[in-house]
Amino acid sequence: MSIDAVKEVVIMEKQGTQGRGRIIFHVDMNSFYASVEAAHNPDLRGKPLAIAGNVEERRGIVVTSSYEARKKGVKTTMPVWQAKKHCPELLVMPPNFPLYRQTSLQIFELLESYTPLVQPVSIDEGYLDLTDDCGDKSPVVIAEEIQKRIHDEIGIPCSIGIAPNKFLAKMASDMKKPLGITILRKREIDKLLWPLDVGEMHGVGKKTKEKLQELKITTIHDLAHANPVQLEMKLGINGKRLHDRANGNDNRPVDPDAIDDFKSVGNSTTFPEDLVDHHRINTALTNLADSVAKRMAKKNVLSFNIQLTIRYNDRTTVTRSRKLQNPISQSGDILEAAQHLFEKNWSGQPIRLLGITGQSLIDRNEATVQLDLFSFEADTKRADLQNTIGSIRAKYGESSLLKGNQLGKDGSHTLRDEKRRGTSLDRDFLWNYKKKKE
């Protein structure tokens, strides 16, 4: 890259009170789970690798795959059996979430050595604001250094987008993978951004794309030149937001405290076979309530709202929630709310997936629970008992001290370990990252 081109990166868009152009990085790990496995096992390097659930079960799908596997047609969310048809030599491994969290923390510690303005948005990507932290180096040189250090010191490839705002930086990092460094200036969006299909735009999902197509919007250019009022009527406030993004406008700051925006704790499980049996359904709800309670205890939070998700065998999904007068965190209370929602909303159809989420969270230390005189002692004892049970399970495993309805008819327990149970991994990681910094 020429010296003049590097200078253009530094200039970028004029924003801020002193006329200084913002310099925003989006750092995105390439094929993160598979890359972590290869970094810890050299025998996996250069081979087609997929991280997936239990191969023998229907829910065994590809979570991510190495680029060697992708070249053979293996894609994320593809069933394992189908992936192996595309790539018979495919290596399939179960996820190792503790290892991924540990590796991610190492990466963000490295990024924080360049600027305190680091905002993780998931376990494998985040933003940096280097506007005031470039020193004498150009942004491109810093990006090359970051990319090299993450690869050499941690063993993970990454792509980096450089732009004057978060949206353009995100779009830039997606333009070249793996190990890409891409600059996207606002004045270049007509050539680099607008020709793209609107579905490739960050923030446009499948349903939003369908709604945009109803308005004859098929490219990002179409979206940028659409009527903002019409977009807002069709998509609500998100319509205006997408119109701004398509025109390269995004004033959001890189905010390290944005981790606090994650205000829910949930868990779900997909069944190997569709369920209609009340006993097995109740067992699943009990296990999910226990899991959510355990995660809420780790985060030291209470919930004012419990949400239940039911997905039927035809993939129709129903989501219902129940607002609570007092915040809760105990598994029994969560289960009671979930069971109430289930009995009220289950259609009787076979169930493919169940999920429970605690929403409207509040820090336990900030909560004022409205306990009356007669329930105070009982609630206190129940909380103490739950904490004791949690400590025992943490030490001896989740199969310790199971309730009767958590046992199968043959007496075996039905709880799954962390590697198999559905989990909001990104939210867990962001909470842990926040607590670590505190």
Alpha-carbon span 263 to 170, nearest angstrom: 23
* DSSP codes joined into one string, 347-358: -SS-EEEEEEEE
Concatenate the DSSP letters of all residues of 33-68 into one string: HHHHHHHH-GGGTTS-EEEES-TTSTT-BEEEE-HH
The residue whose two tokens read 């926040």 is 434
Binding residues: 28, 124
| Residue-wise burial string across 310-345, b where 16 or more C-beta atoms lie within 10 A, e elsewhere | bbbeeeeeeeeeeebeebbbbbbbbbebbbebbeee
Helix (H) or strand (E) holding 183: strand 181-183
Residue 125 among the catalytic residues: yes
- Active-site residue, from 112, 125, 214, 398: 125
Separation between Cα atoms, residue 52 and residue 194, nearest integer Å: 35
**C-alpha radius of gyration, the chain, whole number:** 24
d(CA 343, CA 64): 36
* 138: β partners: none
Burial 59-86 (b: 16+ CB within 10 A, else e): bbbbbbbbbbbbeeebeeebbbeebbee
Binding-site sequence positions for Mg(2+): 28, 124
**Which residues are catalytic, by number?**
125
